[in-house]
Structures are given as structure tokens and as C-alpha cells.
Structure 1
Amino acid sequence: MNAPVAVDALFAGQVARLAGDSRSSAIVKTPVSGRRLLTAEGLAGDAQADRRVHGGVGKALHHYPAEHYARLAAAFAEARHLAPGGLGENISTRGMTEDDVCIGDIFRLGEARIQVSQPRTPCWKIDTRTACEGVAAFIAEHGLAGWYYRVLDAGEIAAGDRLEHIERPADAVTLAEFSRLVRQTRPSIAAVLRLAHANGLDPNWTAKLMQRAEWLRNNGGSE
């Protein structure tokens, strides 16, 4: 089990037009003081512009490791907003990365109980937010996207609360391993199926991975 890690900051935001773009997003988030209710639909006071791809039960809470910002800043010195809260996360910590966290891991956070459901998939909004082309692609290539939780038990949370790791599925897959395999051009069918059947994985990811395994099977993929 991972040692408890404190949440350094809690962030929430509303839908607004992005600077320098005609489209809207809720990627711009500001620190939250005091306690906020976390439910299956997300953090009270937080919004998403496109509920097809953000928010909802499989993406109720976004966690981004603060450690990643130094790496991004080193690669993109001209990028803006490369500090905790800058990429639309709800919680920021130090001491937990994709190397440590597995799909299906369950944590206690404040009064809530949450489960890792899937990695974040970087999108165009990151490049727009940072005013720098290529940041989203770099994040995807290097597995620096952070991850989402589903909420098993609702409750109030706050900055300063500790993420207490309470359960890990058998044969769990780390987020780093998940990211590496997804990025492979032709992974083995067995590897894809292992990801697809990861305990706690969001059903949308399971369906995509099953489709990929079928494609590989029909196109000469190795078992």
C-alpha cells in the first residue's frame, strides 16, 4: 500500500470562453478554500463544458501530480500556466505519480471513498490553455496526464486532507504501464486484454480495448 499523501490544493472552475479561442471550457480552475461536497457527479462548484468527454461518474475527480509541471516547464519554457491547477485538475499532490497508482486503487479522502477509474486523455484545450503547441502531445507521449476517480462514497473533502490508500485489486495495472501499452503501435493481444479486464477500469475504456484486441486478432497481431 502507498503511504498517505496530503492534498496540497483543491480546484474548481466554471465554463468560460478560453483566452485567444472562440471555444469554451472549464479547464481554468481556481483554488477552493474550505470543504466541498464530492459526489458521483463530481466536486460541488465544478463544471465541464462537454459532458461527453469530461465529468460524470467515470471522471468525477481529476488528480494531477504537481511533480509533472517541472518536467513540462523544462520542455516548454514559453508555455503559460504550468503550475498546480493550470491544467484543469481538481486535486494536486506531491508524492504520487502514475508509477505508484493502479487502475482500481481505492482511497479514502476526507469523508469520501474514491477509486481510480482511468487515465486522463490530453486534448487540444491543454495547448490552448498553455498558449503553446505540442504540450498535449508531449503529455500523452510521456504518460504525464494524471488520472480520474469515480466516487464510491460521497462526502466532503478539502485541501489538507490525506489520500489514504485502502485497497488494490489483484494483478493490478499501474497507470504508467497502462499508458505505455496503449501507446504501443502493435501490443500483444494478451497485453491489451489484460488492460481491458483491469478491475475498476471505466467501461468506455474496456470497450475500446476489446475493439483493439479484435482488430489486432483480425490483422495478424501476436497473441
Structure 2
Amino acid sequence: MAKCIVIRQLRIGSLEKLAGTETLTGIHKREIDSAYLNASGLSDDQQGDKRHHGGPEKALHHFASDHYAWLRRKLPVPASEHCQPGAFGENLVTDGLTESDVCAGDIFELGEAIIQVSQPRQPCWRLNLRFDIPDMSRRLQNSLRTGWYYRVLQLGMISNGDTLILKERPHEDWPLSRVLSVLYENTMNQHALTNMAEMKELSPNLRQLAKQRLETQQVEDWERRLFGPASVVM
């Protein structure tokens, strides 16, 4: 990746109720000038479900702004009107960087920090509430335009206007577009799953997912992640 990728927006969120429900979320993030990046994420950035969002393997969320024009064409009004930078709760807003450009395990310098790509995002049912579309999570999953997460290798301040500088690429043959294809399209590719299970730079939960598919020869159930508990009503 030879391009110069500048952080156009840096965003953090506070907890609030999602779409009139009792579900707490930090997806509605606001722009800030700078923040300290620790092992679990940006200072003062909050998540409503810390079991599945945030933490060491999901410290920073990045969504490609390049996808918003496509989403505005595909989604009905008023959901399409939400498709502006920040709509998916991303911490980093950039242009010119997508899942095809970023590889599993990529290490970047960003401001004072060093970060590493850990996994693509696995869309969940909260997006259905966020966009008021019952199957928004599945739509995003099927599009393979999900965004991705970083873990933090070196703590430090990062700021709006900082540049992502690629320092190491241990798996140039594993762009996140390929990871996503294995997760949701070519789901039982034995060779690919074996590689993913052994890829130490990939997040532990995705390595375990690959191992489970190899052991059971079955794809895990996505329904609860995509559509939530039965008590969630839109």
C-alpha cells in the first residue's frame, strides 16, 4: 500500500439509547481533534456491549468512506440519508482505503501509536435498529463491506490529520476482502480455513471460528448475531 492515507475524522461516542429501545450504544460518535489511544481504544470512547465491541482485539474501528456512495444507492430512504461518515460508529474516517487494500496483520504507524489489523467487522443486529431496516446487518455482511478493527501495539496520542503509514505486511495474500469471502461466501474452503486457523495475527475469535468449521464441517449459526435476541423489537 503506497498511498498516503490521511485521517479525515477521528470520532468517539458516549452511551445513549438506540432507536428508542433500552439498548445502549456508542455508535453515534462525534468528531474530536485528538485522543489518547490505549490498549482498549480511544480515551472516552464508549461501547454499549463490551463483550462484542471494543477491547484489545477491537480497539479501533475503521469503515471505508468509499462505501457510502454505494450504500446510498442501495438503501431506501430515510436509511440512505444516514450514510455519511460516522454512520457505522467508526473511529477512523478515511478516503481511498477499503477491505481490498488492507491485509490481515497489517501494522501501521498512526501518530504516536502503532496499530495492527486484527479482523473485519462481523455485523450485528444493532445495525438493524440503527438504520431501521430489519435485515441491515445481513445486507452489510452480504456486501462484504463491513469495515475492520485494529489492536494496539504501541500506545500514544493520535489526531485528526495524522497519516496511516504501513510499516509491515505479514500476509500480503490475505486482504480483508479475502477473509470476508471465506467468512460469508466460500465458507467451507478447507485450505483457506486452515490458513486462517494458523494465522497468529488474526484475532483469536476468528481463528477459533476457522478451527470450529474444520472440526465440525459446518458453518456456525449467524442468526442471533444478525437479528438479536427475540426481545429486540424494531
TM-score > 0.5 by shorter chain: yes
Shift of 1:146: 0.4
Q: Which runs of 5+ in 1 are unaligned?
A: 218-223
**Cα distance in 1, alignment partners of residues 180 and 205 from structure 2:** 16
SS in 1 for 2:8: strand
How far apart are residue 184 of structure 1 and its match? Answer: 2.9
* 1:190 equivalent in structure 2: 191
Identity %: 39
Instruction: Answer whether contact 2:182 2:189 (CA < 8 A) is retained.
Output: no
Letter in 2 for 1:108: E
In structure 1, what is the equivalent of residue 22 of structure 2?
22
1:13-52 alignment runs, 5 A limit = 13-33=13-33, 35-52=34-51
C-alpha spacing 1:25/1:169, structure 2 compared with 1 (3 Å): same
Distance 2:184 2:192 in 1: 12
| Aligned residues: CA RMSD | 1.5
More moved, 185-194 vs 147-156: 185-194
SS at 2:217 equivalent: helix
Aligned-partner residue type, residue 27 of structure 1: I
Equivalent positions of 1:133-212 (< 5 A) are: 133-170=134-171, 172-184=173-185, 186-212=187-213
* TM-aligned CA distance change 1:110 to 1:171, over 3 Å: closer
Residue by residue, what CA displacement relative to the aligned partner does 1:118-174 show, whole Å, maximum 9, x if unpaired? 111111111211222332211100111100000000010011100001100045411
Shift of 1:77: 3.1
Structure 1 pair 185/173, CA: closer, same or farther in 2 (3 Å)? closer
**Alignment deviations for residues 34-71 of structure 1 (CA, whole Å, 9 cap, x no partner):** x2100111001101111110010000000011011111
Identify the range of structure 1 (75-84 vs 155-164) with the bigger mean alpha-carbon deviation: 75-84
> Unaligned stretches of 5+ in structure 2?
219-234
| Cα separation, 2, equivalents of 1:29 and 1:120 | 17
**SS of 2:213's equivalent?**
helix
**Number of residue equivalences:** 216
Aligned equivalents of 1:175, 1:186: Cα separation in 2: 15
Q: Give the structure-1-normalised TM-score.
A: 0.92
Q: Separation in 2 of the partners of 1:117 and 1:2?
A: 20
Residue 200 of structure 1 aligns to a residue whose secondary structure is coil
Cα separation, 1, equivalents of 2:116 and 2:76: 34
* TM score, norm. by length of structure 2: 0.88
Distance 2:3 2:185 in 1: 31
Residue by residue over 1:95-140, the C-alpha shift from the partner in whole angstroms, topping out at 9 and shown as x without a partner, is 1100010000000001100000011111111121122233221110
SS at 1:107 equivalent: strand
